[in-house]
A and B are shown apart, each in its own frame.
Chain A
Amino acid sequence: DAKTTQPPSMDCAEGRAANLPCNHSTISGNEYVYWYRQIHSQGPQYIIHGLKNNETNEMASLIITEDRKSSTLILPHATLRDTAVYYCIADFGNEKLTFGTGTRLTIIP
């Protein structure tokens, strides 16, 4: 798996869009970008994944740069329940997921 780099922590005001960056400059052409989050004391929750194109689902949007060396997870209207550790992972899609230290996102009322 390619190495990913994320800021250790971020704050975001409630109701605002939360934009979480991830660098994966060594990603290979067939590695996906996955995003998970872990709310305290729970198992990680799958958010979204993508290969080249931007993706959107009911939880979030994933924006991948054209060179695929970085991506941004967007939570469009953050709520207090979005406070969690967010993990960005580069993976081939049929192998194990390797978790880094992630970004601790705190939503501020």
Chain B
Amino acid sequence: SAVISQKPSRDICQRGTSLTIQCQVDSQVTMMFWYRQQPGQSLTLIATANQGSEATYESGFVIDKFPISRPNLTFSTLTVSNMSPEDSSIYLCSPRGPDNEQFFGPGTRLTVL
């Protein structure tokens, strides 16, 4: 299985600020997904990020709020912009491997005050 790291693992931020979450994978992957998990809820897909193309966002999520970068096949970032307390969640990156196995990072626990 892929080894996935996320930075930071957790953060406490003030409303109105932005946070960039980094996701590093130990192997090259074509498809990278970003999910959000609000307290007590299941996972919700934010966007799909493929290297060399613009990210595709799910309904209810927009690029201005959650800009994503995918500079190469092992790395991606998700920025949570102009944060409000409603953005307090766990954010997870999820690369998909060549055998259609999809793995998940350990998550970034974000608290917005």
- Name A's B-contacting residues (CB within 8 A): 32, 34, 36, 41-46, 49, 87, 93-94, 96-102
Chain A residues near B94: list those with CB within 8 A: 43, 97
Total interface residues on B, CB under 8 Å, equals 22
Q: Say yes or no: A46 contacts B100, CB within 8 Å.
A: no
Q: Say yes or no: B104 contacts A43, CB within 8 Å.
A: yes
B residues 1-43 with Cβ under 8 Å of A?
Answer: 1, 4, 31, 33, 35, 42-43
User: Could you list 18 further interchain pairs (A-B, Cβ under 8 angstroms) beyond the known A36-B104, A41-B107?
Assistant: A32-B100, A41-B109, A42-B107, A43-B4, A43-B92, A43-B94, A43-B105, A45-B104, A46-B1, A46-B101, A93-B100, A94-B31, A94-B100, A96-B48, A96-B58, A97-B45, A99-B44, A100-B42
B72 within 8 A of A: no
Most buried by B among A32, A96, A100: A96
